[in-house]
Every structure is written in C-alpha cells, then in structure tokens.
Homo-oligomer: A and B are copies of this chain.
C-alpha cells in the first residue's frame, strides 16, 4: 500500500465565484430556481452579469472549498482541477495554494478555454443561487488525474456536478477504481437536486459500487431517491448501506451509519450572510474528523462548526483558521 500523503484528495471544478446580493424578483426574471445551480453558456452568463449589482470575486468550486476547509482545520488535502491559462486561473491557483492545499491542474496541458466562473446571487435570506460557466473545467480528463496521488490519499472526494461533463465524469470514475483497487475510500457529494435527478441511475450505481461516504442536503437526497419524506429517504439509505450525511440547514444534520441514524444540531450562527459553501464546509469538517479517527458524532460536530463559520460571511472559504475554532470549541 502506498504511503499516505494526503488525508483527502478532491477532484472537481476549479471555479472563481462572482458574488452579488440580489432580490427574488431578479431570480424570477431570469427563471432561476433559488438554492440550485444552473449551467450557463457565455451569452447567458453575460446577460446575467450585465444586470447584476456590485460583486466580489472569491475563489470557489465545491470540492475546492472542501479542500480549503480541510487545510484550514490542519489536515493535508490535495485538489485536482482545471483552470484556464488566464489571470483568473492564476488567482485560483494562488488562493488555493496559499491556504495550504496541494494544487494540481493540468499545468502541462494548456487549454484555450477560460477559467470557470460562477455568478452567485445571494438573496436577503442568505440563500445562494448559482449560474456556472464551466470553461476550462470541461477539459478535465484522465491524464489530469495522477494515480500515485490517488493511491496516496486516505479518501478521494468527488462531486455530482462532474456528471454534467462526460469526459470529466469518465476520468473520475476511473479515479474511483484506482482508489478502490488501492483500498482507499471514496466520498461523494451529490452537489445539487437537479444533478441528482439528471444522473440518478449512474449515481446510484456509483454509490452501490464505490462510494463509502455520501454527502447531500435533504433536497438532494430526496431527489436522488425520489423520496417525499425523511422516513422514505432513510429507508432507501438503509438499502444502500452507505455511510451518509444529510445536511438540513438550521435543523442540523442526520448521519446514517448504514443501520442507524444520529441527529446532530446545527452550530449557532450570529447572522446568516451567505449560505454558499455550507455543504462544502460541512464535508470538510466531517472528512477531517473521519480521516483523523474521530467518531461519527465528533466528525459531524466539526462539520457543523465549519459550516457555521462559512455562512457568517460572503464567500465559500473560511476566513479564520478553523484549526483555532476546533480548539476553542473543544472538538
């Protein structure tokens, strides 16, 4: 077995978020579904951006946010994602390295596509609605995924979003096989209820074959399993026998260990400013605990703590060292 170099290796989209406040009317006007992610082409992205208010640009991308969270907790993450050969790509790479993530991203195979951007509209209730232009991310392929790094990671972490990009999806499926063959674990985030719906059969197959830890919020897990209530969802998870974390916003999280459930309360937040990254940071905290031999209750509490930090400000990456919060909260 290869020597362990990373707690978690994440493979996902390398995205710079462009975040602005808005109101419900704006979402309606563009036909957006609040709280979800939609893919856009360049023309649609421009139309939305032209109408958006003052924005801030902050490196994001669901898996990348999780890796940044693990680094902030003191773990050893690696992130593989594809950026464009442009300034935003440089900025993305800089920001993820500087927080302590080992970043790899097709440096040897330059792309002509721009770095991915995500227009994020945040409403007064703190909810985020996302419009992603994938750009260079669509070119992620098997050659970008270093098998040696995968074998040297306790867990690889992947996202449902990639199922919208056929070439990337295939590369990631191959990465899962590499990980499993090396006796490593696979964690999957469902990403979005529409993603779960669009790719239900493939994701269910992946979960039954390769996934050890599943992350999703209520909407995503309900959507994947076509469940209409919590009991129905738990029944389906029981059949799948997968370790699953179902995040429920202010209601906390339910951890299902394959046979029984554990309910953990949400950590207190003074004011919910922007929920972008809440799920990503929950996964960061959980996986940090999981790769450090903590019990499931402790894993979930660290996740809840990390999620609480990130929703207290704009942007999906921690602003304070989560390692310090860990100590402060006795976790």
Residue from B57, B87, B90, B95 in contact with A54 in the complex, judged by beta carbons closer than 8 Å: B95
- Give the CA-CA distance A49 to B117 in the complex, in Å: 21
Is A55 touching B94 in the complex (CB atoms < 8 A)? yes
The reply to whether the CB of A99 lies closer than 8 angstroms to some CB of chain B is yes
The reply to whether the CB of A98 lies closer than 8 angstroms to some CB of chain B is yes
The reply to whether the CB of A86 lies closer than 8 angstroms to some CB of chain B is yes
Is B57 touching A57 in the complex (CB atoms < 8 A)? yes
Closest to A20 in B: B98
With a cutoff of 8 Å between Cβ atoms, the chain B residues found around residue A55 in the complex are 91, 94-95, 98
The reply to whether the CB of A273 lies closer than 8 angstroms to some CB of chain B is no
The reply to whether the CB of A115 lies closer than 8 angstroms to some CB of chain B is yes
The reply to whether the CB of A114 lies closer than 8 angstroms to some CB of chain B is yes
With a cutoff of 8 Å between Cβ atoms, the chain B residues found around residue A91 in the complex are 18, 55, 57
Chain A: interface size category: 20 to 34
With a cutoff of 8 Å between Cβ atoms, the chain B residues found around residue A90 in the complex are 49
With a cutoff of 8 Å between Cβ atoms, the chain B residues found around residue A58 in the complex are 56
The reply to whether the CB of A267 lies closer than 8 angstroms to some CB of chain B is no
- Give the CA-CA distance A120 to B271 in the complex, in Å: 31
The reply to whether the CB of A166 lies closer than 8 angstroms to some CB of chain B is no
Is B49 touching A94 in the complex (CB atoms < 8 A)? yes
Give A40-78 as 1s and 0s: 1 = Cβ < 8 Å from B's Cβ atoms.
Answer: 000000000110111111100000000000000000000
With a cutoff of 8 Å between Cβ atoms, the chain B residues found around residue A94 in the complex are 49-50, 52, 55
- Give the CA-CA distance A86 to B135 in the complex, in Å: 13
The reply to whether the CB of A182 lies closer than 8 angstroms to some CB of chain B is no
Closest to A88 in B: B87
Interface residues of A (CB under 8 A from B): 18, 49-50, 52-58, 86-88, 90-91, 94-95, 98-99, 114-115, 117
13 further A-B contacts with Cβ under 8 Å, apart from A54-B95, A56-B58, are A49-B94, A50-B94, A52-B98, A54-B98, A54-B99, A55-B94, A55-B95, A86-B114, A87-B87, A87-B88, A87-B114, A87-B115, A88-B88
11 of the cross-chain contacts (CB-CB < 8 Å) are A18-B91, A52-B94, A52-B98, A53-B98, A54-B95, A54-B98, A55-B94, A55-B95, A56-B58, A57-B57, A86-B87
